[in-house]
Amino acid sequence: MEKADSGEVLIDGMPVNIDSPSTAIEKGMALLTEDRKKSGLFLVLSVLENMSIVKMPEYIGKTGFVQHLKMAEDCMEQIRRLNIKTPTMDQIINNLSGGNQQKVLIARWLLAQPKILILDEPTRGIDVGAKAEIYHLISELANRGVAVIMVSSELPEILGMSDRVMVMHEGRITGILDKEDADQETILSLASH
């Protein structure tokens, strides 16, 4: 994990020091990576295992035994909620479509109940139907008070999903726009500076 050059992270108005992925998760942050196959999924594991990995310490608890029933109930609830198309929760994740793999990753973080959800290219490589479902879910999370930060290179996605748009160029912020001020021309202009 790279150390920040400057600035601070505030969660619930309080500064927090994020020095590792596990600390970020403990503080209520979640990251859906850009490349689900390289850095998001465990391709040889099942839907259940991929979905529950972040909550595994809770499923084990103080007893030292995995609470399989609770884990399976949580997984089935997410499969229904996100309309994940899989014959069974024991299905190897690599056998699912890209859209359903992405929904399993989102379900993983929903189980962790994050305060801040960072989505890096959340709809890359998935079909139109899965995109619409993911957009609906993102809106639902934002309406429930989850801070959603979406990183995207697709302008229609940015314009359709954002309350505010931060534009960056070569690692520097070149502008922050409210929804009503954000349009394709302004964003492209800021992105080229």
Say which residue the tokens 């595994």 belong to.
56
Assign 4 a pLDDT band (cuts: 50, 70, 90). Answer: confident
- Distance (Å, rounded) from C-alpha 137 to C-alpha 146? 11
Assign 6 a pLDDT band (cuts: 50, 70, 90). Answer: confident
Q: How far is CA 7 from the centre of its chain?
A: 23
Q: Where are the alpha helices (DSSP H) in 82-183?
A: 98-111, 128-143, 155-161
pLDDT > 90: percent of the chain: 78
Q: Which tens digits make up the pLDDT trace of 149-187?
A: 999 999 999 999 999 999 999 989 999 999 999 999 999
pLDDT in the model for residue 74 = 97
Long-range contacts of 189-192 (CB under 8 A, 24+ apart): 191/167
Rounded average pLDDT over 109-120: 94
pLDDT in the model for residue 162 = 94
The CATH number assigned to the domain with range 9-162 reads 3.40.50.300
pLDDT in the model for residue 83 = 93
Per-domain residue ranges of the chain = 9-162
Please give the angle made by the CA atoms of 178, 184 and 190, to the nearest 5 degrees: 70
